[in-house]
Structure 1
Amino acid sequence: MMRLAVFDLDYTVWKPEMYQLYGEPRLTKPSARVSAKVLREARTIEDPKILVDSSGTPIQVFPGVAHALAEINRLRDEEGHDIRAAVASKTDEPHWAKICMDYLVANDGSTLSDCFGDLVEIAFSNKKEHFRRLHKKTGIPFEEMVFFDNEHYNITSVQQLGVKCVYTPDGMLEGHWEEAKRKFGMS
Structure 2
Amino acid sequence: MEDESISKFPKLVVFDLDYTLWPFWVDTHVDPPFTKKGGKIVDRRGANIKFYDHVPEILKYLKLHNCLVAAASRTSEIRGANQLVDLFGWATYFDYREIFPSEKTAHFANLKKATGIEYKDMLFFDDEMRNSVDVSPLGVTCILVKGGMTKTVLSEGLKKWVSNNPA
Fold match (TM-score > 0.5)? yes
* Structure 1 counterpart of 2:5: none
* Structure 1 counterpart of 2:10: 2
- The answer on 1:23 being equivalent to 2:32 is yes
Structure ranking higher in helix proportion:
1
- Return the offset for 1:154: 0.5
* Structure 1 counterpart of 2:49: 59
- Return the offset for 1:93: 1.0
Structure 2's unaligned 5+ residue stretches are: 1-8
Looking at structure 1, the residues matched to 157 and 94 of structure 2 have their Cα atoms a distance apart, in angstroms, of 18
TM-score when normalising by structure 2? 0.86
TM-score when normalising by structure 1? 0.77
Structure 1's unaligned 5+ residue stretches are: 30-48, 77-82, 105-110
Say what the alpha-carbon RMSD is for the aligned residues: 1.6
Work out which of the residue numbers 70, 79, 92 in structure 1 matches 2:76. Answer: 92
Distance of aligned partners of 1:132 and 1:69 in 2 relative to their CA distance in 1, 3 Å threshold: same
CA contact (8 A) 1:63 1:174 kept: no
Cα deviation, 1:135-170, whole Å, max 9, x if unaligned, reads 000011100101011111011111111100111122
Distance of aligned partners of 1:64 and 1:166 in 2 relative to their CA distance in 1, 3 Å threshold: farther
Distance of aligned partners of 1:114 and 1:69 in 2 relative to their CA distance in 1, 3 Å threshold: same
Looking at structure 2, the residues matched to 22 and 184 of structure 1 have their Cα atoms a distance apart, in angstroms, of 36
Cα deviation, 1:89-147, whole Å, max 9, x if unaligned, reads 0112111111111120xxxxxx2111113x10012111011001100000111001010
What is the DSSP-based 3-state SS (H/G/I as helix, E as strand, rest coil) of the residue aligned with 1:113?
A: coil
- The answer on 1:160 being equivalent to 2:137 is yes
What is the DSSP-based 3-state SS (H/G/I as helix, E as strand, rest coil) of the residue aligned with 1:158?
A: helix
Q: Which amino acid aligns with 1:85?
A: V
Work out which of the residue numbers 22, 27, 43 in structure 2 matches 1:14. Answer: 22
CA contact (8 A) 1:148 1:168 kept: yes
After superposition, where does 1:12-161 map in structure 2 within 5 Å? Answer: 12-18=20-26, 19-29=28-38, 49-76=39-66, 83-104=67-88, 111-117=89-95, 119-161=96-138
What is the DSSP-based 3-state SS (H/G/I as helix, E as strand, rest coil) of the residue aligned with 1:146?
A: strand
Looking at structure 1, the residues matched to 32 and 162 of structure 2 have their Cα atoms a distance apart, in angstroms, of 43
